Structure 1
Amino acid sequence: MKSSNVILGFLGGMAVGAVLGVLLAPEKGSETRKKLKEQGEDLVNNLKSNFDDLASKVASKADELLSKENVAEEVEHNLENLKNINKNIL
């Protein structure tokens, strides 16, 4: 299973559990709304943080792939040079 699916499932479960816990608590409506708002803000902050981490990892992998592509192009260029040198020698 992909780690992104696990993370999203975990966060979704946390959100549902938090909402149910607050809704079933014997408190005034204003207190319940305040708690829901705070927990919603916490959830948004966690999602933003996780998204930033994921975006950073994707950017890092993209840079790594571009670097590998540049190395492959350089190797191909060097092979062509060696072929040309070999043709000139023979």
Structure 2
Amino acid sequence: MTNSTGNTIIALVSGAAIGAALGILFAPDKGDNTRKKIKSGYKDLEKDMKAKLATAKVDLEKTYGELVSNMSHKTEDVISFLEIKLAELKEQNAKLQK
């Protein structure tokens, strides 16, 4: 999870907690109704968080896959470059051996 995603999740949870606290303080309803609202809000928050985490997981897996693919291509480029340089060195060495 990126730092940005982590900050977003922290902000979301903090905002929900502050909103719930203010709702309880200023609620004109009875305690039972307030508890039901909190429970409902918690379930909505839980559902939203699960969706965000699932999205973050998919993004992370995609980024990881792209990184592995890019590294594989770069590795092949480096190997090809080193093979060329090795062939050049062998050729220079053969000339010096004569």
TM-score clears 0.5: yes
Which deviates further from its counterpart, 49-58 or 4-13? Answer: 4-13
Which deviates further from its counterpart, 79-88 or 14-23? Answer: 79-88
Say what the alpha-carbon RMSD is for the aligned residues. 2.4
Aligned to 2:51: 49
Could you list the runs of 5+ residues in structure 2 that have no partner in the other structure? 93-98
Which deviates further from its counterpart, 39-48 or 16-25? Answer: 16-25
Q: Calculate the TM-score normalised by the size of structure 1.
A: 0.76
> Per chain length, whose mean CA-contact separation is higher, i.e. which structure has more relative contact order (CA < 8 Å, sep 6+)?
2
1:1-90 correspondence runs (5 A): 2-86=4-88
Q: Could you tell me how far apart the structure 2 residues matched to 1:8 and 1:20 are?
A: 18
Q: Calculate the TM-score normalised by the size of structure 2.
A: 0.71
The count of aligned residue pairs is 90
Larger Rg: 2
- 1:68 to partner: Cα distance: 1.2
Q: 1:22-73, CA deviations, whole angstroms, 9 ceiling, x for partnerless residues?
A: 3431212211111111001011111111111211211111111101110111
Classify the secondary structure of the residue corresponding to 1:27: coil
- 1:15 to partner: Cα distance: 2.7
Could you list the runs of 5+ residues in structure 1 that have no partner in the other structure? none
